[in-house]
A and B are shown apart, each in its own frame.
Chain A
């Protein structure tokens, strides 16, 4: 086993084991923390594949995002005691297991059968951190419209979040009054 193989297994375990923990845990705080660890594992895998930009974006966006969720969503609302109730009956488990296993089967089949192209990945790995440069050119070239579509998506989400999240509307009872 080379060092690279060893690193792969470490990253893979970091990605998968916490994900299993999320499913088994009941405390929402633990789930958030485990998600953080799992996403960090994925960041490691991306870096190992030579996708430096993707790996660091993963750290910034996802891990940073989860951290924000952690801080604002949980700590500021002071709801540490939130526990997820799971209603587990045979009616949920049996179809769930069947669906999960068949999806796993399809994915394993595809992973083993497909002749995955490795040229592009090898080229990217050889270029080292150069992929950020390439991505920059692409974003302002063929992907400029998708890039702008993202801005529309963010604008819509922002307008919606401020509207839905605004504390009170004119003409409706204030937040405090409604609760009592």
Chain B
């Protein structure tokens, strides 16, 4: 008992207080809103007649309000240019970079919830669990990017993955959804095993679970006890994260999970999971392999990480684009294109590792800038597929989009903008994103990555424009009956916002690039 009192009385022990809770307020707001949605659902009556246009609108309203508040908090923090803040005795670190990634995550959740109302109602599964899981996933993702300790990295990744596995299989009477969810679960579990072993090795090599402490020890010229252990740990961690971002050859789950999930969920997965995982990947890569940060501590780790990420980038860009060429389903094509975009983002991660701290180039500005229009395009495209669907089906095949321009010209126009931007044709947002990423790569001496990126981008024009050709130039052939879209306000709104934002970012890239540069890792 003596021991207890001496420890409790020790004056030096730092305490956890309100400040710590205030620092992670966006996360708490998302969590609380999720639980509120879960409880609220109990008080909402199941409508007897299915085609109620409004359905359980309070669910959507409350959860969207939660994302809006969380987004506003994050925006406020970015606007105030807050200093990096470390809380919970070093478990989390909140800086502008984590705020920016968190904002993209919250954006993904908000769009998903906007489009989800119609999609769920059509299938007769408008349950509070959906809203709760989206919000829990978003909260875990924000926490994931804020993690400053290896333990937090693993736990928040598990929490967000678990939520996304369930969301994938949310349409649980649909065989494809359950199959996709199970595949994602099994392969995701395997990848978590790799990640956990990797984190354990990093701990073994550096004797610390705190990323800030590890960075300090490495920068202080203190070589890790054993570089081979550190390299092995980083390699396994990289494999685990490569699974999550869907990089080749760890992409096996992507097409099935993306196709099986409802399109709104696919959009959320493609944007939020990827953004959060890239946030952590970039942090780890810059911490252990950055040009200046790692100092003399671990040149081997830097070499291994550079080689690993560059290699992944090249094969992912080539594989994703070539595989997308062969698809006849628009949804599957977008899934492979998501793999291709992972490749471009990995190029951004490589050039971020070359940026010197305090130098002119901020680490990861290009990657951050790329993520924003990519998020808008992916969300817009997947929500559009969901929005045009009928009953339990989303509009998935390219053929079913034939003649869309005649029936729904506004929708076709929005999808056209998004596809052109995906292909990276100037002066769209996608073009600027690719330009900044490839420019950074060339500036840091990785011109071969930029070359592969540019060549594969040219290939990608073909499959994106195939969709446009189907919409504008081919006559409709039977297919799905044209659904009445009058009542689907959420999807319409989400699609309009996405398309308009893509145009705006394309017209004024400078502003957004400055914000990205300000939010990049320091």
A172 touches B173 (CB 8 A): yes
Distance of B240 from chain A, by nearest CB (Å):
14
Query: In the complex, which of the residues B4, B90, B226 contacts A114, with contact meaning CB atoms closer than 8 Å?
Result: B226
Q: Does A171 contact B (CB under 8 A)?
A: yes
Q: Does A3 contact B (CB under 8 A)?
A: no
Distance of B265 from chain A, by nearest CB (Å):
13
Chain B, Cβ-Cβ closest to A116: B204
Distance of B32 from chain A, by nearest CB (Å):
12
A169 touches B173 (CB 8 A): yes
Which candidate, A30-38, A48-56, A60-68, A140-148, is the interface stretch facing chain B?
Answer: A140-148
Which candidate, A5-13, A16-24, A76-84, A153-161, is the interface stretch facing chain B?
Answer: A153-161
Q: Does B225 contact A (CB under 8 A)?
A: yes
Chain B, Cβ-Cβ closest to A164: B172
A168-B70 Cα distance, complex, nearest whole Å: 34
Q: A157 to chain B: which residues have CB within 8 Å? A: 162
B38 touches A110 (CB 8 A): no
Q: Does A137 contact B (CB under 8 A)?
A: yes
Interface residues in A97-140 by Cβ distance below 8 A to B read 106, 109-110, 113-117, 120, 133, 137
B88 touches A159 (CB 8 A): no
Q: B165 to chain A: which residues have CB within 8 Å? A: 160
A145 touches B163 (CB 8 A): no
Interface residues in B189-206 by Cβ distance below 8 A to A read 201, 204-205
Chain B, Cβ-Cβ closest to A178: B173
Q: A160 to chain B: which residues have CB within 8 Å? A: 129, 133, 162-163, 165-166
A164 touches B169 (CB 8 A): yes
Q: B4 to chain A: which residues have CB within 8 Å? A: 133
Which candidate, B57-65, B153-161, B329-337, B431-439, is the interface stretch facing chain A?
Answer: B153-161
Query: In the complex, which of the residues B50, B151, B166 contacts A171, with contact meaning CB atoms closer than 8 Å?
Result: B50
Which candidate, B135-143, B279-287, B449-457, is the interface stretch facing chain A?
Answer: B135-143
B229 touches A110 (CB 8 A): yes
A143-B209 Cα distance, complex, nearest whole Å: 11
Q: B158 to chain A: which residues have CB within 8 Å? A: 153
A109 touches B228 (CB 8 A): yes
Interface size on A, residues (CB 8 A): 32
Q: B163 to chain A: which residues have CB within 8 Å? A: 156, 160
Known: A153-B159, A155-B136. A114 touches B166 (CB 8 A): no
A146 touches B173 (CB 8 A): no
A155-B159 Cα distance, complex, nearest whole Å: 9
A169 touches B136 (CB 8 A): no
A143-B24 Cα distance, complex, nearest whole Å: 15
B225 touches A106 (CB 8 A): no
A117 touches B207 (CB 8 A): yes
Q: B159 to chain A: which residues have CB within 8 Å? A: 149, 152-153, 156
A120-B204 Cα distance, complex, nearest whole Å: 11
B125 touches A169 (CB 8 A): yes
Q: B132 to chain A: which residues have CB within 8 Å? A: 159
Known: A144-B88, A146-B149, A171-B50. A106 touches B232 (CB 8 A): yes
Interface residues in B506-521 by Cβ distance below 8 A to A read none
A85-B170 Cα distance, complex, nearest whole Å: 29
B173 touches A163 (CB 8 A): no
Distance of B187 from chain A, by nearest CB (Å):
15
Chain B, Cβ-Cβ closest to A106: B232
Q: A106 to chain B: which residues have CB within 8 Å? A: 232
Q: Does B421 contact A (CB under 8 A)?
A: no
Q: Does A150 contact B (CB under 8 A)?
A: yes
Known: A137-B7, A160-B162, A164-B166. A146 touches B133 (CB 8 A): no
B88 touches A152 (CB 8 A): no
Known: A160-B166, A170-B46. A133 touches B31 (CB 8 A): no
Distance of A116 from chain B, by nearest CB (Å):
7
Chain A, Cβ-Cβ closest to B3: A133
Chain A, Cβ-Cβ closest to B170: A163
A153 touches B155 (CB 8 A): yes
Chain B, Cβ-Cβ closest to A152: B159
Q: Which one of A113, A115, A150, A152 has the greatest number of beta carbons of chain B within 10 Å?
A: A152
B166 touches A110 (CB 8 A): no
Offer 19 A-B interface pairs, CB within 8 angstroms, sorted by A: A109-B228, A110-B228, A114-B204, A137-B7, A144-B88, A146-B149, A150-B155, A152-B139, A152-B140, A153-B155, A153-B159, A155-B136, A156-B133, A156-B137, A159-B132, A159-B133, A160-B165, A160-B166, A172-B173
Q: A114-B225, A156-B137, A156-B159 are in contact. List 17 more A-B contacts (CB 8 A).
A: A114-B204, A114-B228, A114-B229, A137-B7, A142-B89, A144-B16, A149-B143, A149-B152, A150-B155, A152-B140, A156-B140, A159-B129, A159-B133, A160-B162, A164-B166, A172-B124, A172-B173
